[in-house]
Structure 1
Amino acid sequence: MARHVAIITDSTAYLPQEALRRHRITSVPLTVVVDGEPLEEGTEISARSLAEALRRHRPVTTSRPSPETFAAAYRDAADAGADAIVSLHLSAEFSGTYDAAVLAAADAPVPVRVVDSGVVAMALGFCALSAAEAAESGGSVDEAVAAAEKRAAATSAFFYVDTLDYLRRGGRIGAAQALLGSALAVKPLLELADGRIGPLEKVRTASRAIARLEELAVLRAGTAPVDIAVHHLAAPERARQLAERLRERVPGLGELHVSEVGAVIGAHTGPGLLGTVLSPH
Protein backbone atom coordinates (compact mmCIF):
# COMPACT_ATOMS: atom_id res chain seq x y z
CA MET A 1 0.00 0.00 0.00
CA ALA A 2 1.36 3.45 -0.90
CA ARG A 3 2.18 5.69 2.00
CA HIS A 4 0.62 9.14 2.09
CA VAL A 5 3.89 10.93 2.99
CA ALA A 6 7.21 9.89 1.41
CA ILE A 7 10.52 10.49 3.20
CA ILE A 8 13.62 11.47 1.26
CA THR A 9 17.06 12.15 2.74
CA ASP A 10 20.61 12.20 1.39
CA SER A 11 23.59 9.87 1.49
CA THR A 12 25.25 11.67 4.42
CA ALA A 13 22.65 10.15 6.75
CA TYR A 14 24.59 6.86 6.48
CA LEU A 15 21.50 4.80 7.17
CA PRO A 16 21.96 1.05 6.77
CA GLN A 17 20.48 -0.31 3.55
CA GLU A 18 18.17 -2.54 5.54
CA ALA A 19 16.73 0.46 7.39
CA LEU A 20 16.22 2.33 4.12
CA ARG A 21 14.31 -0.62 2.68
CA ARG A 22 12.25 -1.33 5.79
CA HIS A 23 11.08 2.25 6.16
CA ARG A 24 10.97 3.01 2.41
CA ILE A 25 13.29 6.01 2.75
CA THR A 26 14.91 7.32 -0.44
CA SER A 27 18.55 8.43 -0.15
CA VAL A 28 19.82 10.91 -2.73
CA PRO A 29 23.61 10.62 -3.20
CA LEU A 30 26.04 13.49 -2.87
CA THR A 31 29.12 13.55 -5.10
CA VAL A 32 32.79 13.18 -4.26
CA VAL A 33 35.29 14.52 -6.79
CA VAL A 34 38.67 12.72 -6.76
CA ASP A 35 41.32 14.04 -9.15
CA GLY A 36 38.55 15.79 -11.07
CA GLU A 37 36.45 12.63 -11.44
CA PRO A 38 32.91 12.93 -9.97
CA LEU A 39 31.75 9.80 -8.11
CA GLU A 40 28.45 9.12 -6.36
CA GLU A 41 28.78 8.52 -2.63
CA GLY A 42 27.85 5.00 -1.65
CA THR A 43 27.72 3.58 -5.16
CA GLU A 44 30.79 4.72 -7.11
CA ILE A 45 33.29 5.32 -4.30
CA SER A 46 33.72 3.45 -1.03
CA ALA A 47 34.99 4.81 2.27
CA ARG A 48 38.08 2.63 1.89
CA SER A 49 38.89 4.09 -1.53
CA LEU A 50 38.34 7.58 -0.19
CA ALA A 51 40.67 7.00 2.77
CA GLU A 52 43.37 5.73 0.41
CA ALA A 53 42.97 8.77 -1.85
CA LEU A 54 43.33 11.10 1.15
CA ARG A 55 46.43 9.27 2.40
CA ARG A 56 47.97 9.69 -1.05
CA HIS A 57 47.13 13.43 -0.94
CA ARG A 58 45.03 13.22 -4.09
CA PRO A 59 42.76 16.26 -4.62
CA VAL A 60 39.35 15.49 -3.07
CA THR A 61 36.32 17.79 -3.00
CA THR A 62 32.59 17.25 -2.54
CA SER A 63 29.53 18.44 -4.41
CA ARG A 64 25.81 18.64 -3.71
CA PRO A 65 23.25 16.70 -5.76
CA SER A 66 21.85 18.69 -8.64
CA PRO A 67 18.30 20.06 -8.48
CA GLU A 68 17.53 17.70 -11.38
CA THR A 69 18.54 14.72 -9.23
CA PHE A 70 16.12 15.81 -6.52
CA ALA A 71 13.41 16.49 -9.11
CA ALA A 72 13.71 12.91 -10.34
CA ALA A 73 13.46 11.57 -6.77
CA TYR A 74 10.34 13.66 -6.14
CA ARG A 75 8.73 12.44 -9.37
CA ASP A 76 9.49 8.84 -8.47
CA ALA A 77 7.90 9.28 -5.03
CA ALA A 78 4.79 10.83 -6.56
CA ASP A 79 4.59 8.06 -9.17
CA ALA A 80 4.75 5.52 -6.33
CA GLY A 81 1.64 7.05 -4.79
CA ALA A 82 2.89 9.70 -2.36
CA ASP A 83 0.61 12.69 -1.87
CA ALA A 84 3.35 14.72 -0.19
CA ILE A 85 7.08 14.51 0.53
CA VAL A 86 9.33 15.40 3.46
CA SER A 87 12.88 15.98 2.21
CA LEU A 88 15.38 15.94 5.14
CA HIS A 89 18.99 16.97 4.60
CA LEU A 90 22.32 17.64 6.22
CA SER A 91 23.07 21.02 7.73
CA ALA A 92 23.04 23.82 5.17
CA GLU A 93 26.25 25.06 6.85
CA PHE A 94 28.07 22.08 5.31
CA SER A 95 26.56 21.81 1.85
CA GLY A 96 24.31 23.33 -0.78
CA THR A 97 22.20 20.16 -0.70
CA TYR A 98 19.31 21.90 1.06
CA ASP A 99 19.30 24.71 -1.53
CA ALA A 100 19.25 22.22 -4.42
CA ALA A 101 16.31 20.40 -2.83
CA VAL A 102 14.42 23.69 -2.39
CA LEU A 103 14.90 24.53 -6.08
CA ALA A 104 13.58 21.14 -7.13
CA ALA A 105 10.66 21.27 -4.71
CA ALA A 106 9.25 24.35 -6.42
CA ASP A 107 8.28 22.31 -9.50
CA ALA A 108 7.54 18.94 -7.88
CA PRO A 109 4.28 17.19 -8.81
CA VAL A 110 3.24 16.98 -5.14
CA PRO A 111 3.93 19.29 -2.17
CA VAL A 112 7.47 18.93 -0.80
CA ARG A 113 8.60 20.18 2.62
CA VAL A 114 12.38 20.60 2.57
CA VAL A 115 14.01 20.55 6.01
CA ASP A 116 17.50 21.68 7.01
CA SER A 117 18.11 19.24 9.85
CA GLY A 118 21.12 21.15 11.17
CA VAL A 119 22.90 17.82 11.66
CA VAL A 120 24.74 15.15 9.67
CA ALA A 121 25.65 11.44 9.68
CA MET A 122 23.42 9.22 11.83
CA ALA A 123 22.14 12.32 13.61
CA LEU A 124 20.40 12.93 10.29
CA GLY A 125 19.68 9.22 9.94
CA PHE A 126 17.81 9.11 13.24
CA CYS A 127 15.77 12.15 12.14
CA ALA A 128 14.80 10.39 8.92
CA LEU A 129 13.79 7.28 10.85
CA SER A 130 11.56 9.31 13.17
CA ALA A 131 9.92 11.05 10.22
CA ALA A 132 9.35 7.71 8.50
CA GLU A 133 7.83 6.18 11.64
CA ALA A 134 5.45 9.14 11.91
CA ALA A 135 4.45 8.72 8.26
CA GLU A 136 4.01 4.96 8.68
CA SER A 137 1.52 5.56 11.46
CA GLY A 138 -0.57 7.77 9.18
CA GLY A 139 0.95 11.08 10.25
CA SER A 140 0.73 14.22 8.16
CA VAL A 141 3.64 16.17 6.68
CA ASP A 142 3.57 18.48 9.70
CA GLU A 143 3.71 15.52 12.06
CA ALA A 144 6.59 13.89 10.19
CA VAL A 145 8.55 17.16 10.16
CA ALA A 146 7.84 17.74 13.85
CA ALA A 147 9.09 14.23 14.69
CA ALA A 148 12.32 14.84 12.76
CA GLU A 149 12.93 18.27 14.26
CA LYS A 150 12.28 17.00 17.78
CA ARG A 151 14.78 14.19 17.25
CA ALA A 152 17.37 16.59 15.83
CA ALA A 153 17.04 18.98 18.77
CA ALA A 154 17.65 16.16 21.25
CA THR A 155 20.54 14.52 19.40
CA SER A 156 24.22 15.09 20.23
CA ALA A 157 27.27 14.32 18.11
CA PHE A 158 30.87 14.29 19.32
CA PHE A 159 33.90 13.23 17.38
CA TYR A 160 37.64 12.83 17.44
CA VAL A 161 39.88 13.50 14.46
CA ASP A 162 43.57 12.74 14.10
CA THR A 163 44.13 16.12 12.48
CA LEU A 164 42.15 19.29 11.77
CA ASP A 165 43.85 19.65 8.40
CA TYR A 166 41.07 18.05 6.34
CA LEU A 167 38.41 20.21 7.97
CA ARG A 168 40.55 23.29 7.37
CA ARG A 169 41.02 22.43 3.68
CA GLY A 170 37.31 21.91 3.21
CA GLY A 171 36.31 25.09 4.99
CA ARG A 172 34.07 23.18 7.43
CA ILE A 173 36.01 23.91 10.57
CA GLY A 174 33.84 26.75 11.94
CA ALA A 175 34.75 27.81 15.47
CA ALA A 176 37.25 24.96 15.68
CA GLN A 177 39.59 27.31 13.79
CA ALA A 178 40.72 28.40 17.25
CA LEU A 179 42.37 25.02 17.75
CA LEU A 180 44.61 25.26 14.70
CA GLY A 181 47.35 27.21 16.44
CA SER A 182 48.04 24.27 18.72
CA ALA A 183 46.92 21.53 16.34
CA LEU A 184 50.30 19.82 16.38
CA ALA A 185 50.29 19.60 20.16
CA VAL A 186 46.75 18.35 20.74
CA LYS A 187 44.24 15.77 19.66
CA PRO A 188 40.98 17.68 19.21
CA LEU A 189 37.52 16.65 20.32
CA LEU A 190 34.83 18.41 18.32
CA GLU A 191 31.08 18.83 18.64
CA LEU A 192 28.29 19.39 16.15
CA ALA A 193 26.32 22.38 17.45
CA ASP A 194 24.01 24.86 15.74
CA GLY A 195 24.67 23.20 12.41
CA ARG A 196 28.42 23.73 12.58
CA ILE A 197 31.53 21.99 13.83
CA GLY A 198 32.96 23.57 16.95
CA PRO A 199 35.74 22.84 19.44
CA LEU A 200 34.87 20.87 22.54
CA GLU A 201 38.10 19.95 24.29
CA LYS A 202 41.83 19.66 23.63
CA VAL A 203 43.48 16.41 24.74
CA ARG A 204 47.18 15.57 24.57
CA THR A 205 47.10 12.03 23.17
CA ALA A 206 44.87 9.95 20.92
CA SER A 207 44.22 7.37 23.65
CA ARG A 208 43.13 10.03 26.12
CA ALA A 209 40.96 11.70 23.49
CA ILE A 210 39.15 8.46 22.70
CA ALA A 211 38.67 7.71 26.40
CA ARG A 212 37.23 11.19 26.83
CA LEU A 213 34.94 10.65 23.82
CA GLU A 214 33.57 7.58 25.59
CA GLU A 215 33.02 9.49 28.84
CA LEU A 216 31.20 12.30 27.05
CA ALA A 217 28.92 9.79 25.36
CA VAL A 218 28.11 8.01 28.62
CA LEU A 219 27.44 11.30 30.42
CA ARG A 220 25.20 12.64 27.65
CA ALA A 221 23.31 9.35 27.33
CA GLY A 222 22.44 9.21 31.03
CA THR A 223 19.91 6.55 31.96
CA ALA A 224 17.04 7.46 29.61
CA PRO A 225 16.26 5.44 26.44
CA VAL A 226 18.77 6.39 23.75
CA ASP A 227 19.93 5.16 20.35
CA ILE A 228 23.64 5.45 19.57
CA ALA A 229 25.73 5.39 16.42
CA VAL A 230 29.49 4.97 16.40
CA HIS A 231 31.10 6.25 13.21
CA HIS A 232 34.65 5.87 11.96
CA LEU A 233 36.81 6.24 8.88
CA ALA A 234 39.53 3.62 8.41
CA ALA A 235 39.46 2.87 12.15
CA PRO A 236 37.23 -0.22 12.50
CA GLU A 237 38.92 -1.63 15.60
CA ARG A 238 38.66 1.67 17.45
CA ALA A 239 34.98 1.83 16.57
CA ARG A 240 34.31 -1.77 17.61
CA GLN A 241 35.98 -1.31 20.98
CA LEU A 242 34.15 1.95 21.67
CA ALA A 243 30.81 0.39 20.73
CA GLU A 244 31.39 -2.54 23.08
CA ARG A 245 32.23 -0.25 25.99
CA LEU A 246 29.13 1.87 25.35
CA ARG A 247 27.01 -1.28 25.20
CA GLU A 248 28.26 -2.13 28.69
CA ARG A 249 28.00 1.35 30.17
CA VAL A 250 24.77 2.89 28.78
CA PRO A 251 21.79 1.41 30.67
CA GLY A 252 19.10 2.86 28.39
CA LEU A 253 20.71 1.76 25.14
CA GLY A 254 18.26 0.92 22.36
CA GLU A 255 19.69 0.60 18.86
CA LEU A 256 23.48 0.63 18.44
CA HIS A 257 24.80 1.24 14.94
CA VAL A 258 28.48 0.93 14.05
CA SER A 259 29.38 2.19 10.59
CA GLU A 260 32.10 3.71 8.51
CA VAL A 261 31.23 7.20 7.31
CA GLY A 262 30.91 7.69 3.60
CA ALA A 263 33.15 9.63 1.32
CA VAL A 264 31.50 13.05 1.73
CA ILE A 265 32.05 13.30 5.49
CA GLY A 266 35.30 11.36 5.27
CA ALA A 267 36.72 13.89 2.82
CA HIS A 268 36.41 16.59 5.47
CA THR A 269 37.56 14.62 8.51
CA GLY A 270 40.25 12.29 7.18
CA PRO A 271 41.22 8.75 8.17
CA GLY A 272 41.15 8.04 11.89
CA LEU A 273 37.82 9.74 12.55
CA LEU A 274 35.89 8.31 15.50
CA GLY A 275 32.49 9.74 16.37
CA THR A 276 29.46 9.13 18.55
CA VAL A 277 25.89 10.17 17.87
CA LEU A 278 23.46 9.99 20.80
CA SER A 279 19.78 10.28 20.03
CA PRO A 280 17.19 9.98 22.82
CA HIS A 281 13.83 8.50 21.87
Structure 2
Amino acid sequence: MGVAIDASCDLPQAFLQEHDIAVMPIVVRIDNETFLDDRSPAETQRFLDQKLGTRSHSAETEPCSVEDVQKLFLDHLVLQRDCVFCLTITATRSPINDHVIKASFAVLKHYREVRDQAGIAGPFLMRVIDTRTLFAGTAPVIVEAIRLIQAGETPAAIRERLTHIANNAYGYMLPRDLYYLRARAKKKGDRSVGLFSAMLGSALDIKPLLRGYRGDTSPVGKVRGFEHGIEVLFDYTAKRVRAGLLVPVVCISYGGDLAELARLPGYDRLRAACEESSVELMEAPMSITGMVNVGEGAITLGFAAEEHVAEF
Protein backbone atom coordinates (compact mmCIF):
# COMPACT_ATOMS: atom_id res chain seq x y z
CA MET A 1 0.00 0.00 0.00
CA GLY A 2 1.11 3.55 -0.64
CA VAL A 3 0.10 7.20 -0.36
CA ALA A 4 -0.30 9.99 -2.92
CA ILE A 5 -0.87 13.64 -1.97
CA ASP A 6 -1.40 16.90 -3.79
CA ALA A 7 1.47 19.38 -3.74
CA SER A 8 -0.23 21.80 -1.33
CA CYS A 9 -0.18 19.23 1.50
CA ASP A 10 2.69 20.57 3.60
CA LEU A 11 5.10 17.97 4.99
CA PRO A 12 8.90 17.81 5.29
CA GLN A 13 10.65 16.58 2.15
CA ALA A 14 12.56 13.97 4.18
CA PHE A 15 9.25 12.43 5.33
CA LEU A 16 7.92 12.25 1.77
CA GLN A 17 11.11 10.60 0.53
CA GLU A 18 11.38 8.16 3.45
CA HIS A 19 7.86 6.84 2.84
CA ASP A 20 7.96 7.10 -0.98
CA ILE A 21 4.90 9.36 -1.09
CA ALA A 22 3.81 10.32 -4.60
CA VAL A 23 3.07 14.01 -5.19
CA MET A 24 0.40 15.22 -7.62
CA PRO A 25 1.87 18.52 -8.90
CA ILE A 26 0.27 21.94 -9.34
CA VAL A 27 1.36 24.34 -12.08
CA VAL A 28 1.78 27.97 -10.92
CA ARG A 29 2.12 30.82 -13.44
CA ILE A 30 3.22 34.29 -12.34
CA ASP A 31 3.66 36.84 -15.13
CA ASN A 32 6.11 35.10 -17.49
CA GLU A 33 7.39 32.61 -14.92
CA THR A 34 6.09 29.05 -14.61
CA PHE A 35 6.71 26.86 -11.56
CA LEU A 36 5.91 23.18 -11.18
CA ASP A 37 4.86 22.89 -7.56
CA ASP A 38 5.76 19.29 -6.76
CA ARG A 39 7.30 20.03 -3.34
CA SER A 40 10.77 20.05 -4.91
CA PRO A 41 13.09 22.03 -2.59
CA ALA A 42 14.92 23.46 -5.61
CA GLU A 43 11.72 24.77 -7.20
CA THR A 44 10.50 26.25 -3.92
CA GLN A 45 13.86 27.98 -3.44
CA ARG A 46 13.69 29.35 -6.99
CA PHE A 47 10.33 30.94 -6.13
CA LEU A 48 11.78 32.51 -2.97
CA ASP A 49 14.99 33.65 -4.67
CA GLN A 50 13.08 35.50 -7.38
CA LYS A 51 11.14 37.38 -4.69
CA LEU A 52 7.83 36.89 -6.45
CA GLY A 53 5.83 36.92 -3.22
CA THR A 54 4.54 40.49 -3.47
CA ARG A 55 2.99 39.98 -6.92
CA SER A 56 2.07 36.31 -6.81
CA HIS A 57 -1.48 37.15 -5.70
CA SER A 58 -2.27 37.41 -9.42
CA ALA A 59 -0.88 33.94 -10.12
CA GLU A 60 -2.82 31.36 -12.07
CA THR A 61 -2.76 27.88 -10.55
CA GLU A 62 -3.60 24.66 -12.38
CA PRO A 63 -4.12 21.64 -10.12
CA CYS A 64 -3.18 18.24 -11.48
CA SER A 65 -5.78 17.52 -14.17
CA VAL A 66 -7.95 14.42 -14.43
CA GLU A 67 -5.77 13.24 -17.31
CA ASP A 68 -2.55 13.88 -15.38
CA VAL A 69 -3.81 11.90 -12.39
CA GLN A 70 -4.76 9.01 -14.69
CA LYS A 71 -1.30 9.06 -16.28
CA LEU A 72 0.47 9.12 -12.89
CA PHE A 73 -1.48 6.04 -11.78
CA LEU A 74 -1.57 4.01 -14.97
CA ASP A 75 2.07 4.70 -15.87
CA HIS A 76 3.51 4.28 -12.39
CA LEU A 77 1.43 3.66 -9.27
CA VAL A 78 -0.65 0.69 -10.45
CA LEU A 79 2.68 -1.02 -11.28
CA GLN A 80 4.24 -0.16 -7.92
CA ARG A 81 1.36 -0.64 -5.47
CA ASP A 82 -1.69 -2.79 -4.88
CA CYS A 83 -3.55 -0.03 -3.04
CA VAL A 84 -3.03 3.76 -2.95
CA PHE A 85 -4.67 6.27 -0.62
CA CYS A 86 -4.96 9.68 -2.30
CA LEU A 87 -5.08 12.52 0.24
CA THR A 88 -5.99 16.03 -0.88
CA ILE A 89 -6.61 19.42 0.67
CA THR A 90 -10.24 20.31 1.30
CA ALA A 91 -12.53 19.94 -1.70
CA THR A 92 -14.22 23.24 -0.80
CA ARG A 93 -11.07 25.24 -1.68
CA SER A 94 -9.55 23.27 -4.56
CA PRO A 95 -10.83 21.18 -7.49
CA ILE A 96 -8.07 18.59 -7.11
CA ASN A 97 -10.17 16.25 -4.96
CA ASP A 98 -12.83 16.23 -7.67
CA HIS A 99 -10.16 15.63 -10.33
CA VAL A 100 -8.78 12.63 -8.45
CA ILE A 101 -12.23 11.12 -7.93
CA LYS A 102 -13.02 11.48 -11.65
CA ALA A 103 -9.62 10.01 -12.58
CA SER A 104 -10.19 7.04 -10.26
CA PHE A 105 -13.01 5.72 -12.47
CA ALA A 106 -10.70 5.45 -15.49
CA VAL A 107 -7.84 4.07 -13.39
CA LEU A 108 -9.98 1.34 -11.89
CA LYS A 109 -11.38 0.54 -15.35
CA HIS A 110 -8.00 0.19 -17.10
CA TYR A 111 -5.51 -0.88 -14.42
CA ARG A 112 -5.94 -4.62 -15.02
CA GLU A 113 -4.64 -4.56 -18.60
CA VAL A 114 -1.64 -2.46 -17.47
CA ARG A 115 -0.82 -4.87 -14.65
CA ASP A 116 -1.39 -7.93 -16.84
CA GLN A 117 1.10 -6.65 -19.40
CA ALA A 118 3.65 -6.23 -16.61
CA GLY A 119 2.93 -9.69 -15.20
CA ILE A 120 1.42 -8.35 -11.99
CA ALA A 121 -1.47 -10.39 -10.61
CA GLY A 122 -4.27 -9.30 -8.32
CA PRO A 123 -6.57 -6.29 -8.01
CA PHE A 124 -5.62 -2.64 -7.52
CA LEU A 125 -7.44 -0.39 -5.06
CA MET A 126 -7.56 3.42 -5.09
CA ARG A 127 -9.13 5.32 -2.21
CA VAL A 128 -9.60 9.10 -2.19
CA ILE A 129 -9.69 10.96 1.14
CA ASP A 130 -10.62 14.64 1.51
CA THR A 131 -8.58 15.90 4.49
CA ARG A 132 -11.13 18.75 4.86
CA THR A 133 -8.36 21.20 5.78
CA LEU A 134 -5.40 23.05 4.26
CA PHE A 135 -1.61 23.01 3.98
CA ALA A 136 0.02 21.88 7.28
CA GLY A 137 -3.43 20.86 8.55
CA THR A 138 -3.29 17.83 6.23
CA ALA A 139 -0.16 16.44 7.91
CA PRO A 140 -1.86 14.44 10.73
CA VAL A 141 -4.02 12.57 8.21
CA ILE A 142 -1.01 11.70 6.05
CA VAL A 143 1.17 10.70 9.02
CA GLU A 144 -1.63 8.46 10.31
CA ALA A 145 -2.00 6.86 6.88
CA ILE A 146 1.67 5.87 6.92
CA ARG A 147 1.40 4.51 10.48
CA LEU A 148 -1.62 2.37 9.64
CA ILE A 149 0.00 1.02 6.48
CA GLN A 150 3.12 0.07 8.42
CA ALA A 151 0.93 -1.58 11.06
CA GLY A 152 -0.59 -3.81 8.38
CA GLU A 153 -4.17 -2.58 8.76
CA THR A 154 -6.72 -3.44 6.07
CA PRO A 155 -7.70 -0.84 3.44
CA ALA A 156 -11.21 -0.64 4.91
CA ALA A 157 -9.92 0.00 8.43
CA ILE A 158 -7.44 2.58 7.16
CA ARG A 159 -10.10 4.45 5.23
CA GLU A 160 -12.43 4.55 8.22
CA ARG A 161 -9.69 5.82 10.53
CA LEU A 162 -8.44 8.45 8.06
CA THR A 163 -11.97 9.76 7.58
CA HIS A 164 -12.22 10.19 11.36
CA ILE A 165 -8.88 12.00 11.56
CA ALA A 166 -9.82 14.25 8.62
CA ASN A 167 -12.99 15.26 10.45
CA ASN A 168 -10.85 16.28 13.41
CA ALA A 169 -7.88 17.86 11.62
CA TYR A 170 -7.28 21.52 12.40
CA GLY A 171 -5.26 23.72 10.06
CA TYR A 172 -4.44 27.22 11.34
CA MET A 173 -3.05 30.04 9.19
CA LEU A 174 -1.53 33.39 10.11
CA PRO A 175 -0.80 35.74 7.18
CA ARG A 176 1.74 38.55 7.30
CA ASP A 177 0.09 40.86 4.76
CA LEU A 178 -3.66 41.51 4.78
CA TYR A 179 -3.53 43.55 1.57
CA TYR A 180 -1.95 40.55 -0.17
CA LEU A 181 -4.54 38.19 1.30
CA ARG A 182 -7.37 40.43 0.09
CA ALA A 183 -5.86 40.76 -3.40
CA ARG A 184 -5.56 36.98 -3.68
CA ALA A 185 -9.10 36.46 -2.35
CA LYS A 186 -10.42 38.97 -4.90
CA LYS A 187 -8.53 37.18 -7.69
CA LYS A 188 -10.29 33.94 -6.75
CA GLY A 189 -13.69 35.57 -6.23
CA ASP A 190 -13.54 35.00 -2.48
CA ARG A 191 -15.08 37.84 -0.43
CA SER A 192 -13.86 36.58 2.94
CA VAL A 193 -11.38 39.46 3.39
CA GLY A 194 -12.97 42.84 2.61
CA LEU A 195 -11.05 45.98 1.67
CA PHE A 196 -12.16 47.86 4.77
CA SER A 197 -11.09 44.99 7.00
CA ALA A 198 -7.74 44.80 5.23
CA MET A 199 -7.16 48.56 5.53
CA LEU A 200 -8.20 48.68 9.16
CA GLY A 201 -6.26 45.56 10.04
CA SER A 202 -3.10 46.81 8.37
CA ALA A 203 -3.37 50.25 9.96
CA LEU A 204 -3.73 48.76 13.44
CA ASP A 205 -1.50 45.74 12.69
CA ILE A 206 -4.41 43.45 13.50
CA LYS A 207 -4.36 40.13 11.70
CA PRO A 208 -6.95 37.38 11.41
CA LEU A 209 -6.11 33.93 12.70
CA LEU A 210 -7.68 31.64 10.11
CA ARG A 211 -8.72 28.03 10.56
CA GLY A 212 -9.39 25.30 8.03
CA TYR A 213 -11.68 22.73 9.67
CA ARG A 214 -14.28 20.33 8.24
CA GLY A 215 -14.23 22.08 4.87
CA ASP A 216 -14.74 25.58 6.25
CA THR A 217 -12.01 28.23 6.20
CA SER A 218 -12.75 31.25 8.36
CA PRO A 219 -11.29 33.56 11.03
CA VAL A 220 -11.45 32.25 14.60
CA GLY A 221 -9.60 35.11 16.26
CA LYS A 222 -7.74 38.39 15.82
CA VAL A 223 -4.22 39.15 16.98
CA ARG A 224 -2.16 42.33 17.08
CA GLY A 225 1.05 41.90 15.12
CA PHE A 226 2.49 38.85 13.42
CA GLU A 227 4.97 37.88 16.14
CA HIS A 228 2.38 38.27 18.89
CA GLY A 229 -0.05 36.24 16.79
CA ILE A 230 2.46 33.45 16.35
CA GLU A 231 3.10 33.37 20.09
CA VAL A 232 -0.64 33.11 20.74
CA LEU A 233 -0.96 30.28 18.20
CA PHE A 234 2.08 28.38 19.50
CA ASP A 235 0.92 28.67 23.12
CA TYR A 236 -2.58 27.54 22.15
CA THR A 237 -1.15 24.55 20.29
CA ALA A 238 1.04 23.65 23.28
CA LYS A 239 -2.13 23.60 25.38
CA ARG A 240 -3.84 21.28 22.89
CA VAL A 241 -0.75 19.02 22.82
CA ARG A 242 -0.91 18.63 26.60
CA ALA A 243 -4.66 17.95 26.42
CA GLY A 244 -3.96 15.07 24.02
CA LEU A 245 -3.93 14.69 20.24
CA LEU A 246 -5.48 12.01 18.03
CA VAL A 247 -2.21 11.68 16.10
CA PRO A 248 1.08 12.42 17.92
CA VAL A 249 2.28 15.08 15.50
CA VAL A 250 2.20 18.86 15.06
CA CYS A 251 3.29 20.21 11.69
CA ILE A 252 4.30 23.80 10.99
CA SER A 253 4.82 25.10 7.46
CA TYR A 254 6.49 28.42 6.78
CA GLY A 255 6.67 30.51 3.64
CA GLY A 256 10.35 31.33 4.05
CA ASP A 257 13.62 30.13 5.58
CA LEU A 258 12.81 27.37 8.09
CA ALA A 259 15.76 28.50 10.23
CA GLU A 260 13.63 31.49 11.25
CA LEU A 261 11.01 29.32 12.97
CA ALA A 262 13.06 28.55 16.08
CA ARG A 263 13.53 32.29 16.70
CA LEU A 264 9.82 33.06 16.79
CA PRO A 265 8.25 33.77 20.20
CA GLY A 266 6.60 30.78 21.82
CA TYR A 267 8.35 28.21 19.64
CA ASP A 268 10.54 26.93 22.47
CA ARG A 269 7.49 26.39 24.68
CA LEU A 270 5.69 24.51 21.92
CA ARG A 271 8.74 22.33 21.29
CA ALA A 272 9.02 21.59 25.02
CA ALA A 273 5.33 20.65 25.23
CA CYS A 274 5.75 18.28 22.26
CA GLU A 275 8.81 16.65 23.82
CA GLU A 276 7.03 16.18 27.16
CA SER A 277 4.02 14.59 25.43
CA SER A 278 6.01 12.43 22.95
CA VAL A 279 4.57 14.39 20.03
CA GLU A 280 6.68 14.88 16.91
CA LEU A 281 7.11 18.52 15.86
CA MET A 282 7.53 18.69 12.08
CA GLU A 283 8.81 21.70 10.14
CA ALA A 284 7.99 21.95 6.45
CA PRO A 285 8.52 24.54 3.75
CA MET A 286 5.20 25.95 2.63
CA SER A 287 4.30 24.87 -0.89
CA ILE A 288 4.52 27.42 -3.68
CA THR A 289 0.73 27.07 -3.96
CA GLY A 290 0.40 27.87 -0.27
CA MET A 291 2.57 30.97 -0.54
CA VAL A 292 0.60 32.14 -3.57
CA ASN A 293 -2.68 31.83 -1.65
CA VAL A 294 -1.72 32.93 1.88
CA GLY A 295 1.33 35.08 1.15
CA GLU A 296 5.08 34.69 1.52
CA GLY A 297 6.21 34.71 5.16
CA ALA A 298 2.92 33.24 6.38
CA ILE A 299 2.67 30.28 8.74
CA THR A 300 0.27 27.36 8.76
CA LEU A 301 0.05 24.83 11.58
CA GLY A 302 -1.79 21.54 11.81
CA PHE A 303 -2.80 18.95 14.39
CA ALA A 304 -5.67 16.51 14.96
CA ALA A 305 -7.69 16.58 18.18
CA GLU A 306 -11.13 15.83 19.48
CA GLU A 307 -13.67 18.56 18.72
CA HIS A 308 -13.20 21.62 20.93
CA VAL A 309 -13.97 25.32 21.02
CA ALA A 310 -11.18 27.56 19.72
CA GLU A 311 -10.04 29.88 22.50
CA PHE A 312 -8.23 32.91 21.15
Match of 1:16 in 2: 12
Number of residue pairs matched by the alignment? 276
Give 1:261 shift.
0.1
AA at the equivalent of 1:46: T
Match of 1:66 in 2: 65
Match of 1:52 in 2: 51
AA at the equivalent of 2:98: D
1:123 aligned counterpart, secondary structure: helix
Percent pairwise identity: 19
2:234 aligned to 198, 203, 214, which one? 214
AA at the equivalent of 1:191: R
1:1-281 alignment to 2 at 5 Å? Answer: 5-41=1-37, 42-43=39-40, 45-47=43-45, 49-50=47-48, 52-55=51-54, 59-75=58-74, 76-80=76-80, 82-108=81-107, 109=111, 110-171=124-185, 175=192, 177=194, 179-180=197-198, 182-184=200-202, 185=204, 186-224=206-244, 226-234=248-256, 236=258, 238-242=260-264, 243-250=267-274, 251-279=276-304
1:246 aligned counterpart, secondary structure: helix
Per-residue CA deviation, residues 33-83 of structure 1 (Å, 9 max, x unaligned), is 121543211347315625711235684232210112211222212112x33
Greater than 4 Å deviation, 4+ residue runs: 172-179
Query: Quick one: structure 1 residues 232 and 96, their matched pair in 2 at CA, closer, same or farther if it must change by over 3 Å?
Result: same
Measure, in 1, the Cα distance between the counterparts of 2:163 and 2:182.
29
Measure, in 2, the Cα distance between the counterparts of 1:163 and 1:86.
35
8 Å Cα contact 2:241/2:273 also seen in 1: no
Measure, in 2, the Cα distance between the counterparts of 1:258 and 1:53.
23
More divergent stretch after superposition (106-115 vs 234-243) = 234-243
Measure, in 2, the Cα distance between the counterparts of 1:162 and 1:95.
22
Q: Gaps spanning 5+ residues in structure 1: where?
A: none
2:71 aligned counterpart, secondary structure: helix
Measure, in 2, the Cα distance between the counterparts of 1:228 and 1:101.
27
8 Å Cα contact 1:15/1:122 also seen in 2: yes
RMSD: 2.7
Query: Quick one: structure 1 residues 54 and 66, their matched pair in 2 at CA, closer, same or farther if it must change by over 3 Å?
Result: same
AA at the equivalent of 1:87: C
Query: Quick one: structure 1 residues 17 and 232, their matched pair in 2 at CA, closer, same or farther if it must change by over 3 Å?
Result: closer
Per-residue CA deviation, residues 153-179 of structure 1 (Å, 9 max, x unaligned), is 333222221123333333376755594
8 Å Cα contact 1:9/1:87 also seen in 2: yes
TM-score (norm 2): 0.78
Query: Over alpha carbons, which structure has the higher Rg?
Result: 2
